[in-house]
Structure 1
Amino acid sequence: MSVNVTMSSTVILDGIMIKMSQQKKRISTCNYKERFFVLDTQELKYSECRPGRKPILKGCIKLYSIKCVDMVFTYLPVPCEFKYPFQVFHGKHFLYIFAPDKDCRLRWVHALKEETKNNNLVEKYHPQLRMNGKWRCCKQSEKLAKGCVVYDPVDCGSKKTLPAIPDLEIERLSDGVHRIAIALQNYSPLGDRELALRKDEEYTLTDSSHPDWCYVRDERGNTGFVPRIHLSEISGKNFERFEWYSKNISRGEAENVLFKEGKEGAFVVRNSRQTGVYTVSVFTKAPGRSTGEKQPCVKHYQIRRTETGESSFYLAEKYLFRTIPELIHYHQHNAAGLITRLRHPVTQKGCCSQIIAHGSKDEREVDPDELTFGQELGRGQFGRVLWGEWREKKVALKLIKEDCMSNEDLKEEAKIMIKFNHSKLVQLYGVCTQRSPMCLVLEFMENGCLSDYLRAKMGHLSQDTMLGMCLDVTEGMAYLETSNFIHRDLAARNCLVSKSNVVKLSDFGMTRYVLDDQYTSSMCSKFPVKWSAPEVVKYCKFSSKSDVWSFGVLMWEVYTEGRRPYENQSNAQVVESLNAGMRLLKPRLAPEAVYLLMDWCWKERPVDRPSFALLLHELSELTEC
């Protein structure tokens, strides 16, 4: 007679979270999988949810095998719906789990640490993700390399006990500037010197010099200390220093100032009638929706806040930013739902900022006598490209067609391109506006544009070469993405190839400046349809995710060795096909994993497409396979 003895276990936590797959060869949206997690006193299990059917067990980790449980911190965009990752290191494997909110993550990390605190734990752990064959935190390449941060089996990395309230000189600010902050959550005082907080109410900051405490005043005049982590400041201490801020200007006064200036994209930021709320007023000559004729007007956009989250400021579209200056900086380069970009800050006295007006009078301006012009290399929507020489260096000279781009906008383009510094972006040396036509002086790329190069090398490109080209473009786009910059015209024709076959991005963002509507227009009548995402075709809505769609088409161009997408279809037929859910077919030379990435880029909803940071990760993994 045999007796089966089973040890009983008690469920501690359960709930739905997202698991990140560690299978290198599974390159698709399936890398982020919704799973039902159960933690009991013996195991951590996760199952596939199947509505109306029994869940399928997908994984089981014995608690005694766990060596580390802690938060994961990353500055890269999180590519799934749940944004709060934590890690479980067991045996020789890492499990990354994404929780829906901070409190949920804290509960799971606390519970797992409590259950594993007596295990054989690591001394140090990696607080960031592994990417491109290296740990982002310490740059070590070995997957099982020793961590770089001391592991605490008790501390959960959040909600630490606050230190004692400091002995500060109250109301001692010397500049007399009153700063406004919003309470992110309720807070109940634990002592007589503290002040209660109510979520979403505004408070005046009197002293914020301590790293953990702020001294504030509420609307009723009560004062006291509150934890710094429960506040989000609306505007910085030197908010008034920005040239675009006009503190007390009214709506009518703003309109008068902007109409008098009369420049497309001239703008001010002013106080709204509601305390602590700000409005952006911007001048435009954009054609009216009904008549198509230019009707100068001033549009007013209230700066809004989301209910939750650290990055909470936004304008017309929900492109979120932590602070108002960051929001304004982004919209100075991207319309993103506004009638026009915020091109020219205007002071309350009614003149454009001198920073903008005279910003090009420096080393960016190239003396035309220093330029030698050679033969033509090609033509594009902005004009001819020649090879030339500048200061004994071989360069490319992009000559801008007359009436295609204003002198002022060319200088602005130069300011933007010089600011970006990355090995996968074509370098701009300067701009020459003292001759006609005006020109950009650019890094010379010996092998020309990518589309021509692909066709010239047809039948001679290896799989590693094609994958490397896609990886080069992704690196450049990931850099632009982290800079909150949208390319708008990503295609093989706008990438250049160096002598060593390195692919670099060119013409990023230039379609914003076209004046004659030959390529894009405010009415969205002309744009590269065969490279454009559905939201661009329908609503002229550009974003980093519309760039991702274009990148999928660029990958298709690479793996077809320079074929034109939808070459036998008109633009109208392409739009009709896309609306019906049809996509470009898998190229013969593209591995299945690569085509899955292309297809991921072509998801109907922008939110379902990957970020460039994630694409960079996935393509890097393919190079290691």
Structure 2
Amino acid sequence: MYPRVILKETLYKKSQQKRRTSPCNYKERIFVLNTQELTYFENRPGKKLTQKGCIELSHIKCVEIVRSDVPIPCEYKYPFQVAHDSYYLYVFAPNNDCRLKWVRALKEATQNNNLFMKYHPDFWVEGKWRCCHQSEKQAAGCCEYYPNGAKPLPPTPDPSRRSSDSEERIVVALKNFTPDEESDLPLHKDEEYFIVDSSEPNWWTVRDKNGHVGSVPCIYIAEKVDIKKFEWYDKDITRTEAENLLLEENKDGGFIVRDSKHAGGYTVSIFARVSGSDGNKYPQVKHYQVRVKKDGEVTKYYLAEKYLFSNIPELIRYHQHNAAGLISRLRHCVSRNAQNSSKTNELNSEKWEIHSDELTLSEEVGSGQFGLVWRGFWNKRQVAVKTVREGFMSEEEFKEEADVMMQLSHSKLVQLFGVVAQPLYLVFEFMENGCLTDFLRAKKGKLSQEDMLKMCLDVSEGMVYLEGSNFIHRDLAARNCLVSEDHVVKISDFGMTRFVLDDQYTSSYGSKFPVKWSAPEVIRFSKYSSKSDVWSFGVLMWEVYSEGRTPHDKRSNAEVVEDLNKGLRLQRPRLCPQSVYELMEWSWKEKPDDRPSFALLLHQLSCLE
């Protein structure tokens, strides 16, 4: 039986330079990948294909994209590498999509091989590795190799830090796990385990059904959630009762989750005021059935197509921040119980509300999107105080957004310490070097490519966290990042951007969004997702390597929209390496699904360090 062909395509290959004195050339070859080997042929007109090389898949040790600034003399400009035996085969694809297709197929076909732990992300050229300058071709790689695009498991936690949780919680194994250490516990897919300790961010201690206790990686488990304990769930309320309760509450974004008329199903009922044909707003309640989608053996839940979640609480949490096609985002839990959402918010606000007499304002340091920005002191700590213009948002909206931001905490996010309710102030950590746009312009001509790459890495780290928290920024740009005293870049203004409205944020159609940083689906349909943030991150990288220039600076918003519709993109900045620009281009793919995740972008950027 002949092996099955997986891919067949015309690509270019670079001579493997098996000797240091071998000439370097590029030749067009027909590549064929089947289930046993990777073969390439010379195609001469009028003659049979001539096999010029063959690599058994079992001998392959690494398959990865090559990032480099060296000029590529052949027609195809997108290189990837296949490391096998003692050799490196460099192959060149016509575009990035083609390259990724081959890399994915080869990785999948070789995933069970004895693979490299580290690899060289750049070319072997003229007797040395361009990435690390080692002159031995068989030298160990300089960059961690993650064949599945995911980093290895985190280190095992210190057993001395383990403690029992007060309530018994259950997790379900998403996949099998074989322990590497005696303190670890094996996992069997779909089996349930009791949580003993969840204080570690990456490894939890669990107990199996036989009473055995050990550590397991969090990425292999998911907490089994009982929605009955959530106040937004009302099991026995009818459709009519839900409508009456929401209308009585009369709050935009009020919602209830209830049992559907379909056995085992759920419905989300939402109240909003909707504009009528006469321009007035009228109260309306819409009902959305929670739909279920099977992805292999995994069950996913969704209200809006393409926004899939492992459980219903995750779904609700996402739509509390993002409408994503619904009549409104889920802003206020409405319950027949006396303790409704607004009272809960009042209780929560005690955790983060700062009294005005605790705060001292010293000097005005700038003007933000929401009002003036002051340097101040709170409990002897230097802070940045952002004032909110009168009429900009209601106190209820203000507290709601602050509550969202207080729940997010990461070293690459500007930390919100708390808020002052009267007048409306937000109290943030103070970032000595101000906004990234101004910093780039002030440092023009003084920043190295290493500095610029580090800035992009900082922002991508913060966005990986937001992406993992199902949080969409909506306005990722250099102006919304701040720079610390030691030049760390942190993301700011997440959560508040939906209230901004000025010329920069208004399209020719009157919609509000940052046009020159926005993905096509945002411009056309106001459809936000992590992938629309990825597009904006590509523009932010362009800003960094342009030393603070405004993208499309000579084009109006309407002209930018017209250019995007024609498939035009920002040109590579003079200081930007080709390898980084390829990541920008990848971020600017027309279809959101064709763009990388922030986790993958962070991995690719890390390999360029």
Query: What TM-score comes out, normalization by structure 1 length?
Result: 0.67
Q: Does 1:508 align with 2:494?
A: yes
Equivalent positions of 1:537-556 (< 5 A) are: 537-556=523-542
1:431/1:36 CA distance change after superposition, 3 Å: farther
With over 3 angstroms needed to count, the CA separation of the structure-2 counterparts of 1:355 and 1:532, relative to structure 1, is same
Q: Distance in 2 between matches of 1:242 and 1:36?
A: 55
2:35 to 12, 33, 39: 39
Paired residues, number? 484
- Give the AA of the match of 1:39: T
CA offset digits 1:229-269 (Å, max 9, x no partner): xxxx9x96732111111112222221111111111111011
Inter-partner Cα distance in structure 2 for 1:282 and 1:549: 31
Amino acid at match of 1:61: I
The residue type equivalent to 1:401 in the other structure is R
The offset of 1:357, in angstroms, is 2.8
Q: Structure 1 residue 442: deviation in Å?
A: 0.4
- Give how far 1:94 is off: 11
| 1:137 partnered with 2:131 | no
Task: Tell me, yes or no, if structure 1 residue 441 matches structure 2 residue 427.
Answer: yes
Equivalent-residue separation in structure 2 for 1:58 and 1:621 (angstroms): 31
Instruction: Indicate if the aligned counterparts of 2:371 and 2:386 stay in contact, CA closer than 8 A.
Output: yes
- 1:484 is displaced (CA, Å) by 0.9
Consecutive unaligned residues of structure 2, counting only runs of 5 or more, are: 15-29, 43-47, 64-81, 90-98, 119-140, 156-176, 181-185, 192-207, 211-221
* Cα distance, 1:476 vs structure 2: 0.8
Partner of 1:241: 229
Q: 1:592, 1:391 → 2: CA distance? A: 48
Equivalent residue in structure 1 for 2:385, among 388, 392, 397: 397
Alignment check: 8 A CA contact 1:489 1:509 kept: no
Could you tell me which residue of structure 2 aligns to residue 492 of structure 1?
478
- Alignment-derived partner of residue 561 in structure 1: 547
Distance, in Å, in 2 between the alignment partners of 1:379 and 1:568 is: 24
- Match 2:288 to one of 276, 293, 301: 301
SS in 1 for 2:247: helix
CA shift for structure 1 position 454? 1.1
Taking structure 1 as reference, are residues 355 and 485 closer, same or farther at Cα in structure 2, changes over 3 Å only? farther
Counterparts of 1:68 and 1:592, CA distance in 2: 23
5 Å matches for 1:65-464? 65=59, 91=85, 133=144, 136-137=151-152, 238-288=226-276, 290-309=277-296, 310-349=298-337, 352-353=340-341, 356-433=344-421, 435-436=422-423, 438-464=424-450
Mapped contact 2:506–2:515 kept (Cα < 8 A)? no
State the distance in 1 between where 2:209 and 2:350 align. 41
> Aligned residue for 2:55?
61
- The change in CA–CA distance for 1:474 and 1:354 in structure 2 (over 3 A counts) is same
* Residue in 2 that maps onto 1:215: none
Report if aligned partners of 2:225, 2:311 keep a CA contact under 8 Å in 1.
no
Cα 1:63–1:589 change in 2 (3 A) is: closer
What root-mean-square deviation, in Å, do the aligned CA atoms of Structure 1 and Structure 2 show?
4.6
Aligned partners of 1:125 and 1:149 also within 8 Å:
no
Q: Distance in 1 between matches of 2:351 and 2:51?
A: 64
Contact 1:258 1:350 in 2 (8 A): no
**What residue is the counterpart of 1:15 in the other structure?**
6
Could you list the per-position Cα deviations for residues 366-389 of structure 1 after superposition, in whole angstroms to 9, with x for gaps in the alignment?
121111102111112211110000
- The aligned counterpart of 1:154 is none
Identity %, equivalent residues: 54
1:480 to 448, 466, 474: 466
The offset of 1:470, in angstroms, is 1.2
Q: Name structure 1 gaps, 5 residues minimum.
A: 1-9, 24-33, 49-53, 70-87, 141-147, 152-156, 164-208, 212-232
Deviation at 1:616, TM superposition (A): 0.8
Give, in angstroms, the shift of residue 440 of structure 1: 0.9
Query: For the structure 1 residues 467 and 575, does the alpha-carbon distance in structure 2 shift closer, same or farther, using more than 3 Å as the test?
Result: same
8 Å CA contact 1:524–1:540 kept in 2: the answer is no
Shift of 1:60: 4.2
Deviation of 1:99 after TM superposition, in Å, equals 12
Give 1:137's aligned amino acid. Answer: P
What CA distance in whole angstroms lies between the structure 1 residues aligned with 2:503 and 2:462? 27
Query: What is the aligned partner in structure 2 of residue 618 from structure 1?
Result: 604
Is the 8 Å Cα contact of residues 68 and 125 (structure 1) preserved in structure 2?
no
Find the counterpart in structure 2 of residue 595 from structure 1. 581
Q: Which has the higher mean CA deviation after the structures are superposed, 329-338 or 390-399?
A: 329-338
What's 1:230 paired with? none
Asked whether 1:574 is paired with 2:541, we answer no
Output the amino acid matched with 1:583: R
| SS of alignment partner, residue 312 of structure 1 | strand
Residue 227 of structure 2 contacts residue 312 of structure 2 at CA under 8 Å; is this kept in 1? Answer: no
Cα distance change, pair 524–132 in 1 and its aligned pair in 2 (3 A) = farther
Give the distance between the partners of 1:439 and 1:401, measured in 2 at CA: 10
Deviation at 1:36, TM superposition (A): 5.8
Check whether the contact 2:404–2:495 (CA below 8 A) recurs between aligned residues: no
Separation in structure 1 between the aligned mates of residue 548 and residue 554 of structure 2, nearest angstrom: 15
Superposed displacement of residue 390, structure 1: 0.6
Task: Give SS of 1:357's match.
Answer: helix
Q: Alignment partner of 1:442: what SS? A: strand
Q: In structure 2, the residue corresponding to 1:429 is in which secondary structure?
A: strand
Instruction: Give the partner amino acid of 1:358.
Output: E
Using the TM superposition, give the Cα deviation of residue 335 of structure 1 relative to its aligned residue in structure 2, in angstroms.
1.3
Q: Is the 8 A contact 2:462 2:490 kept in 1?
A: yes
Question: What's 2:514 paired with?
Answer: 528
In 1, the alpha carbon distance for the partners of 2:490 and 2:229 equals: 37
1:3 equivalent in structure 2: none
Q: 1:238 to 1:500 in 2, by over 3 A?
A: same
CA separation of 1:360/1:57 partners in 2, compared to 1, >3 Å: closer, same or farther?
Answer: farther
1:559 offset after TM fit, Å? 1.4
Deviation at 1:464, TM superposition (A): 1.1
Name the structure 2 match of 1:195: none
- 1:35-67 per-residue CA deviation (whole Å, 9 max, x = no partner) reads 863234xx465899xxxxx99989843366478
1:430 positional shift: 1.0
Per the TM alignment, residue 533 of structure 1 is displaced from its structure 2 partner at its CA by 0.9
1:56 and 1:403 mapped to 2: Cα distance? 75
Which residue identity lines up with residue 302 of structure 1 in the other structure? Q
User: 2:257, 2:501 → 1: CA distance?
Assistant: 26
Q: Measure how far apart 1:149 and its partner are.
A: 7.1
| Structure 1 pair 578–350 and aligned structure 2 pair: CA distance change class (3 A) | farther
Q: Give the counterpart letter for 1:589 in structure 2.
A: L
Shift of 1:447: 0.5
Distance apart, 1:411 and its partner CA? 2.1
Alpha-carbon shift at residue 518 of structure 1 (Å): 9.9
Deviations 1:301-357 (A, max 9, x none): 111122434252111232111111111111111111112111111113587336743
Paired residue type of 2:351: E
Residues 150 and 314 (structure 1), Cα distance of their counterparts in 2 relative to 1, 3 Å cut = closer
